[in-house]
Amino acid sequence: MAAKKARKREYIPPSHEVVNRRERTTTTRTTTRAQRPAPGTPRSAMPYPKPTLQRTLKRLPIYFLMIFALQYFIIGGETDGTRERLTYAALQAAIVTIAFAPFMHMMDRFAYNRYVKRTNASK
């Protein structure tokens, strides 16, 4: 074992195998400097979007899918038929999503009003 370690220590790789990981040969930027905020600018300087019903309605399908998946796996052992399980989970997810929509919009408005108060931005 000691001989193997000694051989490893003695091995000096050729120059074409040596890679300095700290050096960057190519730039891999995905955004330009114009798209990013200036350095040192806090994230709070980015504008907070005004809450609208359209934004809330856009997010509802995502919440429906998450609630549907949760319900589907929770119901797992209770029903035997997968068709019954799917319809029951979809029905429950639809009811919960529709009931949750107004609260989601209220939370959006609450967060926006806090942002406006904190930054003294105009509505």
Task: Please write the tens of the pLDDT for every residue from 95-107.
Answer: 999 999 999 999 9
* pLDDT attached to residue 100: 92
At how many degrees (to 10) do helices 53-75 and 82-119 cross?
140
The whole-number pLDDT of residue 102 equals 93
Residue with tokens 């919009």: 105
Rounded to whole angstroms, how far apart are CA atoms 123 and 33?
A: 29
**What length does the chain have?**
123
* Confidence at residue 17, expressed as pLDDT on a 0 to 100 scale: 61
What's the pLDDT score for residue 16? 60
Q: Are 90 and 65 in contact (CB under 8 A)?
A: no
Beta-carbon-side half-sphere exposure of residue 21 (alpha carbons within 13 Å)? 0
pLDDT, tens digit (0-9, with 9 covering 90-100), for 1-47: 778 777 767 766 666 665 665 655 555 565 555 566 666 666 656 67
Determine what percent of the chain is predicted with pLDDT higher than 70.
64
Those residues with Cβ within 8 angstroms of residue 94's Cβ, 6 or more apart along the chain or in another chain? 64
Buried b (16+ CB within 10 A) or exposed e, 71-88: bbeeeeeeeeeeeebeeb
Average pLDDT over residues 87-97: 92
CA distance 120 to 47: 12
Average pLDDT over residues 72-100: 84
Residue where the block lists tokens 């119901």: 75
Lowest mean pLDDT among 27-31, 69-73, 109-113: 27-31
